[in-house]
Chains A and B, each alone.
Chain A
Amino acid sequence: MEIPFTSQPRQDTGLYNAKLGIWLFLASEVMLFGALFSSYILLRVGAPAGTWPHGWLDVRLGTVNTLVLITSSITTVLAWVSLKDRNFGKFKLFHAITLICALMFVGIKSFEYRDKFLHYEVKLKDGRIADGHMMENNAKEDFIVIHGRYVQAHMELMKHAHADELKEEKILRENIVSMQNYGPWHNTYTAIYFTLTGLHALHVIGGALVIGYLWLLGGKMWKSDPERFTNRIEVSGLFWHFVDLVWIFLFPVLYLL
């Protein structure tokens, strides 16, 4: 039995199945991210004065990632327009660019995550805190080396350090009380940062997998049912634009404000 309305729209709604389906899915996604944004607002407003970090993220990398994602959005639209124009070659080109952009985004995000996992806050017995990137941490050695700075109080870490404040510091293990990297467990800010951007990155990866599948194996359906294939590209495109949309709010909220 053939499933109706996979290519042509229903007369009463003017929609084909997948289009209604993706919009229902996106409606649920809005509430998912909405709940997390709500959590972010409450955590930020509820943070004691001076304890919410500023400048912990690299604005340059965030900006580049925003531009990459916007570029992937336009190439997604142009890929769909190419199919409407019955130009499969152009479609392949534009969606290849979309995939490259998706890989770039995930690559840059991974670099940012790595930076956070290598960044340590080391509490010392004399009350000071050493904060910076771990350069050497060999369990056989009785010292560690970080590239960073010393501060007297935890609150001083909430402001971003200038490059000229940072230098390599050798710290004996016997002087260390505790040390922890800037993973999701570090504080409320890193917890919500990793939750929001991690969930978003999973969406990017999921979207890229679907787009990659359609790009790689879509030719077969294009030959047999071009209308249905074009609809699939529109639907995957709607999801991809939603991913872009979420980042449009994540970028200023996490990187700039």
Chain B
Amino acid sequence: MSHDSHAHSAPHEKHSIRGYMIIYFALLVGTVFTVWASFIDLGHHWNIVLALVIACVKAFLVIGYFMHLISEKKLIYTVLSFTAFFFTGLMFLTIFSMHHFPLNTVTH
């Protein structure tokens, strides 16, 4: 790349760095919030829901902005749509089978 293109790209990169730093601080705040929320008794299920919601938001920030998935090419979306389908299927199978254990193996 020439020095000209460097000069053209500089303002864009500066803007990007600011955006990345905002995401970084959001991730730090999200981590502190996760820890803080875990010490508040919301009822066991709601504590789990809140922790996973925060984790999902943080994951979206990492995937979307650090991994640039929000501006990725169509082929990547196609590949990941298969992953999302099978991953979601796996999690639904897990949830569906969660309380189905053979008799006399679990004493809830």
Contacts and interface: CB of A to CB of B under 8 A. Distances in A.
At the interface, is chain A mostly helix, strand, loop or mixed?
A: helix
Contacts of B66: 73-74, 76-77, 237, 241, 244
Nearest to B82: A27
B85 to A, nearest CB: 11
A45 B98 contact: yes
A71 B23 CA distance: 11
Interface residues of A, number: 51
B102 to A, nearest CB: 10
Question: What is the interface of chain B mostly: helix, strand, loop, or mixed?
Answer: helix
A23 B79 contact: yes
A42 B98 contact: yes
A74 B92 CA distance: 33
Interface string B5-41: 0100110010011001101100110011011001000
Contacts of B23: 74
Contacts of B54: 252
B41 to A, nearest CB: 13
Nearest to A30: B83
Interface stretch (A59-67, A95-103, A116-124): A59-67
A59 B51 CA distance: 14
Contacts of A226: 1
B83 A41 contact: no
B73 A30 contact: no
Interface in A70-115: 70-71, 73-74, 76-78, 81, 84-86
Given A15-B75, A20-B75, A27-B83, A86 B1 contact: yes
**Max chain B Cβ within 10 angstroms of own Cβ: one of A31, A46, A253:** A46
B76 A15 contact: yes
Interface string A218-244: 000000001100000000011001101
B61 to A, nearest CB: 9
Interface of A: 13-15, 19-20, 23-24, 27, 30-31, 34-35, 37-38, 41-42, 45-49, 59, 63, 66-67, 70-71, 73-74, 76-78, 81, 84-86, 226-227, 237-238, 241-242, 244-245, 248-249, 251-253, 256-257
Given A81-B17, A257-B38, 11 more contacts: A20-B76, A59-B35, A63-B31, A70-B24, A74-B66, A81-B16, A85-B10, A242-B67, A244-B62, A248-B62, A251-B55
Kindly list the 4 A-B residue pairs having the minimum CB-CB distance in the complex, ordered from nearest: A256-B38, A252-B51, A27-B83, A74-B24
30 contacts: A14-B73, A23-B79, A27-B79, A27-B80, A27-B83, A31-B87, A31-B90, A38-B91, A45-B98, A45-B99, A46-B101, A46-B105, A48-B106, A48-B108, A63-B32, A63-B35, A70-B24, A70-B28, A70-B31, A74-B20, A74-B24, A78-B20, A81-B16, A241-B67, A245-B59, A248-B58, A248-B62, A249-B52, A252-B52, A256-B38
